[in-house]
Amino acid sequence: MPAAVLDRSSPLPLWAQIADDLRRRLHGGEFDGRFATDEELTRYYQVSRQTVREAVRHLSAEGLVVRQRGRGTEVARPTFEQPLHSLYSLASTVRAQGMEERSEVLAVELRPAGPGPGARLGRDPLDGAVFVERLRFAGAEPIAWDRSWLPADRARPLLDADLSSGGLYDLLALHCSLRVTGGRERITPVVPAPAERKLLRLPAQVAAFSVHRLALAGEEPVEWRESLVRGDRYSLVAQWPDGTRNRPDDLA
């Protein structure tokens, strides 16, 4: 239906009508594979290239698309903002932005905790641990690679659980009656190894976040996790209490 969406008698400029229609089509997932070229949009709406470019420029200003010289226009992928002031769940963060959250389970098995995870869990390296490895997705794209070690005497029911969606702590509460109440983690920017970059489908020259987390149930360590999170899809947000706002020059 070329040009059918445009009302040429309307006081609303043509570029604004095109922007509204493109916005609707973007939200409907029509351009998930590839955004239309200026030439295609010019033919579809039967308007000048300048009118199309003005519409796309406004979509770019809204963060819906990205225009790159020599590469055309691409749909902007959402960046997930993660507050750092409390316990958080990647699954909840993804769902809160209206995207499908799922996991590809790469491993779930009983194995010795090993010296590193065992020490952090306060267990002997030979003690049994439930090892869970998942590739986490937001929509069609992987966003994080998680590897978790949990004490077998506390988390054994996870071996028979469906881990293909949802946060691990919700699954712990549901299947193991074990509620995570706190913890601590260290976040470090890293350059991924080639195999890690391939697993996460991470573009060249894009860094990632390495996250090491110890989760607690009360005072008891119940999970040691090592995660790699895509740096182009994830941002970390810290908030200070009222009364501690700094002037810009205080942050230098």
Q: What is the 3-state secondary structure (H, E, C) of 174-196?
A: HHHCCCCCEEEEEEEEECCCHHH
pTM of the model: 0.65
Do residues 102 and 124 both lie within one domain? yes
Residue 147 is part of a domain; what is its CATH number? 3.40.1410.10
Q: Is residue 129 part of a domain?
A: yes
Instruction: Please provide the average confidence, as pLDDT, over all residues in the chain.
Output: 84
Q: Is residue 245 part of a domain?
A: no
Contacts for 225 with CB less than 8 Å, ≥ 6 apart = 146, 147, 148, 149, 185, 211, 212, 213, 214, 215
Q: Is residue 139 part of a domain?
A: yes
Q: Is residue 217 part of a domain?
A: yes
Give how many domains the chain has, as a whole number: 2
Q: What band does 130 get if pLDDT is binned at 50, 70 and 90?
A: very high
Residue 48 is part of a domain; what is its CATH number? 1.10.10.10
d(CA 75, CA 32): 7
Q: Is residue 218 part of a domain?
A: yes
> What domain range is 86 assigned to?
80-237
Share of the chain above pLDDT 70, in %: 81
